[in-house]
Amino acid sequence: MTENPVEIRWHGRGGQGAKTACLLLADAAFSSGKYVQGFPEYGPERMGAPVTAYNRISDTRCTVHSNIYGPDYVIVVDETLLASVDVTHGLSEQGAIVVNTSRSPEEIRPLLNGYAGQVCTIDARRISEETLGKNFPNTPMLAAAVKVSGVVAPERFIADMEASFQHKFAHKPQVIAGNMDALTKSMQEVRFG
């Protein structure tokens, strides 16, 4: 990574965990020795309303403290936002967009306002239902963000997340295995287009 931070913008809906995934990515990057920022953009937050969150990850201290207008990567936790939010606004064509969908990158590209950069997709709903028993798309989307952006080495990310889950779910250890399965499966199933 260069001295310039990698900037990531997350788009989701209230209650889907986009903010949580953003903060978990910041924690994982910090644990690997990076300087990080992870923050949501607050508006009239309510269940189902569009939400935005941001990450800056760098090898050097970052002195910029604003929203991200020209992200390197965009993570879309809810495919329905493609019809109502300009998720590619400002997105670098040297970066990528990652969309939670059962569709292929080729099927999603026409919905992205002419974006010519890399399009990646992952079926986070299916993966979370298979590994966690419910639709929790943020865990698979977190792994997809790491896989596509490369901001944290995959092996380090998996080890750090396992330690984090062991702490977070100390009183519910049965939840750890499903979350770890969701992460590893997601890193294997990202489709690049």
Q: Using one digit for the tens of pLDDT, what is the confidence trace for 101-153?
A: 999 999 999 999 999 999 999 999 999 999 999 999 999 999 999 999 999 99
Output the pLDDT for position 177: 95
Rounded distance, CA 77 to CA 21, Å?
10
| DSSP secondary structure code for residue 81 in this structure | G
Rounded distance, CA 43 to CA 60, Å?
30
Output the pLDDT for position 77: 98
Q: Say which residue, 81 or 44, is predicted with more confidence.
A: 81
Average pLDDT over residues 14-20: 92
| Contact between 23 and 38 (Cβ < 8 Å) | yes
Full-prediction pTM beyond 0.75? yes
Listed as own residue / partner, the contacts of 166-175 with beta carbons closer than 8 Å and 24 or more positions apart are 175/132
Average pLDDT over residues 79-99: 97
Mean pLDDT of all residues in the chain?
94
Q: Which amino acid is at 40?
A: P
The residue ranges of DSSP E strands in the chain, in sequence order, are 6-13, 35-41, 50-58, 73-76, 96-100, 118-122, 191-192
Rounded distance, CA 140 to CA 125, Å?
8
Rounded distance, CA 16 to CA 10, Å?
11
